[in-house]
Structure 1
Amino acid sequence: MTGIILCGGLSSRMGSDKGLLQTEAANWATDAARKLQDLGILVKASINTLQESSYARGLPGVELITDNTTLPVKGPLLGLLSAHVANPTEDLFVLACDMPLMETFLLKELYTLYQKQEADAFLFTNDGEAEPLCAIYTSAALQKIMTMLRKGQLKKYSMKFALDHLQLATLPLKEEQKKYFQNFNTHADLNEL
């Protein structure tokens, strides 16, 4: 298994790269990488082509996977599929860099579910809705999505549409856990930190 920090968003509403926003000790991407590394897995970062130099400096020691521009998708699905193309035999544990409140104990819960159960993807649900940006995707599931893409069967290029075509193992979030899945997109959101 390989951990993938999804950092390739444009951060247009934030006005600056969210993965490189500073916490007390590090930036958001480094903090997310550390949380996945606590599971004992190798971690890489998914970025877009414009971020290469800033992430080479801001995330030292972490291999960068640049978006595969031959794939006709956008958004988080592009980052996920680009990571799959670069690591075709690996199951991927993805975590978006803009979930700075995420805690390692939740990642461990998901990793335990992955170890105990058979499924294409493993994720939390929030009031019945999938949380696709903190999830584990098997290499077989990602290959299934790639096949759908090649055959023109991926009618929407969204994570949730892709999930509709996979066998899921889910963990419902408890009310007190929902805060950890908050993602931050604007400067106003940062006031809640």
Structure 2
Amino acid sequence: MSEPIKAPPLYGLLLTGGASRRMQQDKATLAYRGEPQLLRAWRLLQEVTERTFVSARDTQRDDPLRAGLPLILDRYEAIGPAAGILSAQDEYPDAAWLVLACDLPLLDAATLQQLVTRRDPAAAATAFTSNHDGLPEPLCAIWEPASHGLLKQRYADGSFCPRKALMQSNTRLLPAPGEALDNVNTPEEREAMQHRLETLA
């Protein structure tokens, strides 16, 4: 009988380095229910990971909201979320990373706990399927060390889409967790989300 695979340590990575062009302001600083989204997501990640980091661009290192938290600065220019994932994997190659976007106001602790509980360390990644199109959700997913080689190869080939990387990998896919991963990208979507949260309160 073969030995069960020993799971690498699980670290958390909160992605906050995006330019937020469609929102026209830093999405990580937007407050929902009176708390900046960055701090709320940070707390959720801390509950389920051994160590937690904020992914940011070099120009954000002195931002008051980020400066007090452990940062991993992007080492890759202008390639979107893949910059944060690759930079974290370069820094701690033996860790698995629970990668989380900072624009998920409906995300709750139970959803993250489900992801961690159903993690498959023998896969390259564990991810939810999207509630909207059934494809893997790369920005609330656990990326195992085994995913690093494919991401690096895709980067070398000029392909930067984390979702396509999951589609090409041995990824354990979990059912979509309802509306928990609905994100907010524009001022109109933010206003609609504020109304939804008021109704849920």
What range describes the TM-score normalised by the shorter chain of this pair? 0.7 to 0.9
CA shift, 1:190, in A, is 1.1
Distance 1:149 1:138 in 2: 16
Asked whether the equivalents of residues 123 and 168 of structure 1 are also in contact (C-alpha less than 8 Å), the reply is yes
Residue 51 of structure 1 pairs with residue 57 of structure 2: no
Distance 1:187 1:163 in 2: 29
Contact 1:124 1:172 survives alignment (8 Å): yes
Aligned counterpart, 1:5: 14
The separation in 2 between residues aligned to 1:192 and 1:11, in whole angstroms, is: 18
Secondary structure in 1 aligned to 2:35?
coil
Instruction: Identify which range, 75-84 or 154-163, moves more after superposition.
Output: 154-163
Which of 100, 103, 109 pairs up with 1:98? 103
Match of residue 15, structure 1, among 13, 24, 37: 24
2:148 to 139, 142, 146: 142
Specify every segment of 5 or more residues in structure 2 that has no aligned partner in the other structure, as ranges.
1-9, 194-201
Alignment RMSD (CA, Å): 1.9
In the alignment, which residue of structure 2 is the partner of 1:38?
47
**Inter-partner Cα distance in structure 1 for 2:59 and 2:106:** 26
TM-score by length of 2: 0.83
Q: Which runs of 4+ in 1 moved over 3 A?
A: none
Paired-residue identity, %: 31
Confirm or deny: 8 A CA contact 1:91 1:137 kept in the other structure: yes
Deviation at 1:60, TM superposition (A): 5.3
Q: What amino acid sits opposite 1:99 in the alignment? A: L
Q: Confirm or deny: 8 A CA contact 1:30 1:59 kept in the other structure.
A: no
Matched residues, number: 182
CA distance in 2 between counterparts of 1:186 and 1:92 reads: 27
**Contact 1:117–1:169 (CA under 8 A) maintained in structure 2:** no
Mark the runs of 5 or more structure 1 residues left unpaired by the alignment. Answer: none
